[in-house]
Structure 1
Amino acid sequence: MKVVVIGGTGLIGSKLVAKLEEHGHEAVPAAPNTGVNTLTGEGLAEVLEGADVVVDVSNSPSFEKDAVMEFFRTSTTNLLKAEADAGVTHHVALSVVGTERLPDSDYFRAKVAQENLIKESGIPYTIVHATQFFEFMNGIAASSTDGDTVRLAPVKIQPIAADEVAAAVGSAAIGAPVDGVVEVAGPEAFRLDELLRDTLAAQNDPRTVVTDPHAPYFGAELQETTLLPGPDAHIAETRFADWLARQQ
């Protein structure tokens, strides 16, 4: 099976390519640094020739309101058109648990736009909703930092290792399209503020984490369960403490 991985040189994409190759599939990483640009369309027709499945794990380089919407709309539109022309029979996209519950966030509005384009394309699809990656905890802290203070809401979060996100996306890619959403999450729920406080302490980061129920999360105020998966989510095995210990 030929699987083209858009964003195939990034964190999830590189892991996904390796996992697919381990299982005997032809996995082709596609990204600007491999000559494929979904924003301009450059290289799309060539890389999709003979492809059975396309997996999109790309992400916007900017979370600014207009830039992130432009990225997901233009990139997804170009990609889906090229897939239709090439006869691709399964489109898989990685998105985020809780996306539809965060309309105040510029980033998550753009992800909803991306998902709607996929659903309306007529190409059989699977959308994988993952909770936040363990590897993204420092990014969350950075987005919530003012000076030496990190303001975070005391809401629930159930993060997952990037390796297991890649495994879930890979399983979706080699399986039949579900024409819907599947969820994947880590095995433990934490309070966001407490998790980041412990993470920064383990990294000897001097910033202070302040609990603030109204602290925005990428532009949106969170409710207690906004970031939690539903009851049918696939639950991964790696625990955060074990992952964090390996990073040290």
Structure 2
Amino acid sequence: MKIVVIGGTGLIGSKTVSILRQAGHEVVAGSPSSGVNSITGEGLAQAMAGAQVVIDLANAPSWEPQAVLEFFQTASRNLLAAEAEAGVRHHVALSIAGTDRMPDNGYFLAKVAQEKLIAASGIPYTIIRSTQFMEFLNGIAAAAADGDTVRLASGLFQPIAADDVAAIVADVAQAAPRSGIVEIAGPERAPFNEYIARYLKAVGDARVVVADPEARYFGGRVEQYSLVPMGEARLGGIGLDEWLRRSKG
């Protein structure tokens, strides 16, 4: 089967490409550096020719609300048009758990807009809503830092390792389209502040984590279930301790 992975050289994309190639598929790792650009449309027709599945893992280069909205809308329109022309039978897109529950987070709103375009496209699809990646824990702590204090809300948090995300994305891409949403998360759920405190302690970071209900997550207010699946979810197998062990290796 020919599978096109947009964002195929990124964190999740490179891992997904490797898994699919090992499974015997013909995989195109699409990225601007390889001449496949979902924003300009460059190389899309050639990449899609003969493809059965397209996986969209592209990430916006900016978190500025208008810029990120324009990125996902433009990229999705270009991809879906090229897929319709090529007769692609399954569009898989990686989104974020809680996108529809944090209206003051511009990035989440942009992902909602992307999801709506996919659902309305007429192409069979599966949207994978993932919790935050463990690989972003350091960046999350840095963004919430106020000197030697890290201020985070106590809403629930359930991050997932990139290896687990890639494995599930590859699995979904090889299965029949769901024409709906699959939610995925890590195996451990805890209050946001407690999870980050555990991570910082494990890596020898002495900063103090404080539970602050007013602390925002990239502009969004974090309620109890803002960042985790509300119902049934497919869970990864790599917990924080195992992820840390692998990261050091």
**Secondary structure at 2:108's aligned position in 1?**
helix
* Pairwise CA distance, 1:207: 3.4
SS of corresponding position for 2:205: coil
Q: How far apart, in 2, do the equivalents of 1:26 and 1:108 lie?
A: 32
Match of 2:24 in 1: 24
Measure the CA separation in 1 of the matches of 2:4 and 2:132. 24
% identity of equivalent residues: 56
SS at match of 1:205: coil
Consecutive unaligned residues of structure 2, counting only runs of 5 or more, are: none
Q: Shift in Å at residue 188 of structure 1?
A: 1.1
> 1:107, CA displacement in angstroms?
0.4
1:57 equivalent in alignment to 2:64: no
How far apart are residue 176 of structure 1 and its match? 0.6
Structure 2 counterparts to residues 1-248 of structure 1, below 5 A: 1-248=1-248
Hey, what's the Cα distance between the residues in 1 that align with 2:150 and 2:178?
39
CA distance in 2, matches of 1:143, 1:61: 17
Separation in 2, partners of 1:146, 1:71: 31
Residues of 1 paired with 2:87 and 2:146: CA distance?
Answer: 49
Kindly provide the amino acid, as one letter, of the partner of residue 133 in structure 2: F
Runs of 4+ deviating beyond 6 Å: none
Letter of the 1:212 counterpart: D
SS at match of 2:209: strand
TM-score, L = length of structure 2: 0.96
The Cα shift of 1:5 comes to 0.2
What is the Cα deviation at residue 130 of structure 1?
Answer: 1.1
Q: CA RMSD in A?
A: 1.2
Deviations, residues 61-113 of structure 1 (Å, cap 9, x unaligned): 11011111111011111111111111111100001111111111100000000
What's the CA shift for 1:208?
Answer: 3.2
For 1:187, what is the secondary structure of its paired residue?
coil
- Range with bigger deviation, 20-29 or 227-236: 227-236
Mean Cα displacement is larger for which, 233-242 or 56-65? 233-242
| Offset, 1:44 | 0.7
- Residue correspondences, number: 248
| TM superposition shift of 1:41 | 0.6
- Return 5+ residue gaps in structure 1 as ranges: none
Output one character per residue of 1:176-203: Cα deviation in whole Å (capped at 9) or x when no partner: 1110001111111011112112222322
TM-score by length of 1: 0.96
The offset of 1:206, in angstroms, is: 4.2
